[in-house]
Amino acid sequence: MNIHVLALLFVTLVWGATFPVLKIATAHLSGIEVSALRFLIAALCMLPWALRAPRLAWRDGGVLGALVLFSYVAQAFGLEFISSNRSAFLTSLNVLMVPLLGTLLGVRPTLLMLGSATLACAGIALMSWEGGAHLLADSATVLGALAYAVYVIVLSQRASRHSPRELAATQIIWMALLGVVWMLLQAWGTERLQTLPARLNLTVFAGLCYLGIVATAGMLFLQAAAQRFVSADKAALIYAMEPVFAALFAWAWLSEMLTAQAAVGGAMVVCAVVLSEWRSAAAIATTASAPGFAKNP
C-alpha cells in the first residue's frame, strides 16, 4: 500500500470523525452556519497560499469549492434531523455514484454495476424504515453525496494542474466567501446573527476548529496532493471506509446504535459500494480516455 493510498485512508478516517462533531454542532447552529464558520476558520489557515495562487487555480478552486460547499451544507442540514450513522451511510453513496456518472460519457454500465446499484437501493430502503427516516433530510444528504461524487471526478481531472496547497487554499477561500453570503441571506430579517455568539459555546467552538483546521484545511490539502497519484475509482473505493469509521466514532462519542434492520441495510450499502468499485477500474479507464476525464497513474 503506497503512501498516497495511506494518505487518502487517513483523510477518510478524519472525515468519519466529523459526523458526531457535526451532530453536536447542529444542535446549536444551522447547517449553513456550521459550514460558513468552519470554512472561515479554514480560510484563515490557508490565506498565505491563496494570495500566491495563479488565476487558473482560482478558477478551478471556484468550481471545486462550490461543489464541496453544496455537499457540506446538504450534509449538515440532514444531520439536523437524522442520526450521524444514517447520514454517513447515505453520504457513502457518492462512491457508487462516481462510476455511474461515467455513463454520461458513454460508458455502458455492466450487469455488476446494475446489480450493485440495486443492492444499494435495497439497503437504503431498509435504512429508511428505521424510525429516524426523514424524507427531506434524506433527500438533501443524497444530493450532497451526488455533489461530492462530481467533486471527486473533477478533482481527478484538475489536481495535476496545480500545487496542492494553492488548489486547496483557493477552494477554501471560495467556500468561505460563498458560505458567508449564503448564511447572511438565510439570516436576513431574523435574529439569528444576533443570537449567534450566545449559541457558540466552548464545545461547539472547539468542534468548529476541528472541522475547519483539521477536517477542511488539512484534509483538502491531503486530498488534492494524493489524488494526483490515485485514480478516481481507487480513491472512491478508499472513501467507502468513511461510514465504517463514522459508525465507530458515533458509537464511541454519541452512544448511537443501529437497529438490526438498519445495520443490515447499511451493510448492504457498503457491500454495494465496494462491489461496484471492485470491477470498475476497467470501466473508469475507458472513460478516462474520453474528453473531460484525466488519467491518473
> Would you say residue 297 has pLDDT above 70?
no
The predicted model gives 193-202 an average pLDDT of: 88
Residues 257 and 206: beta-carbon distance below 8 Å: no
pLDDT digits (tens, 9 = 90+) for 99-111: 777 667 555 666 7
Per the prediction, the chain carries an average pLDDT of 79
How far, in Å, CA of 12 to CA of 246, rounded?
9
pLDDT digits (tens, 9 = 90+) for 127-149: 656 556 778 888 999 999 899 88
pTM of the entire structure? 0.71
Residues 245 and 13: beta-carbon distance below 8 Å: yes
Higher local confidence (pLDDT), 60 or 32? 60
Percentage with pLDDT > 70 across the chain:
79
pLDDT of amino acid 280:
47
pLDDT of amino acid 292:
36
Cell 453544496, residue located: 70
pLDDT band at 10 (very low <50, low <70, confident <90, very high): very high
pLDDT digits (tens, 9 = 90+) for 36-80: 999 999 999 999 999 999 999 999 999 998 998 888 788 878 877
Phi, psi of 57 (to 5 degrees): -65, -35
As given in the structure block, the three cell numbers for residue 24 are: 453536536
pLDDT digits (tens, 9 = 90+) for 239-296: 767 767 776 777 777 676 667 777 787 788 778 767 765 654 444 444 443 333 333 3
pLDDT of amino acid 282:
45
> Would you say residue 30 has pLDDT above 60?
yes
pLDDT of amino acid 43:
93
pLDDT of amino acid 211:
92
How far, in Å, CA of 269 to CA of 160, rounded?
31
pLDDT of amino acid 129:
60
Buried b (16+ CB within 10 A) or exposed e, 40-77: bbbbebbeebbeebeeebbebbbbbbbbbbbbbbbbbb
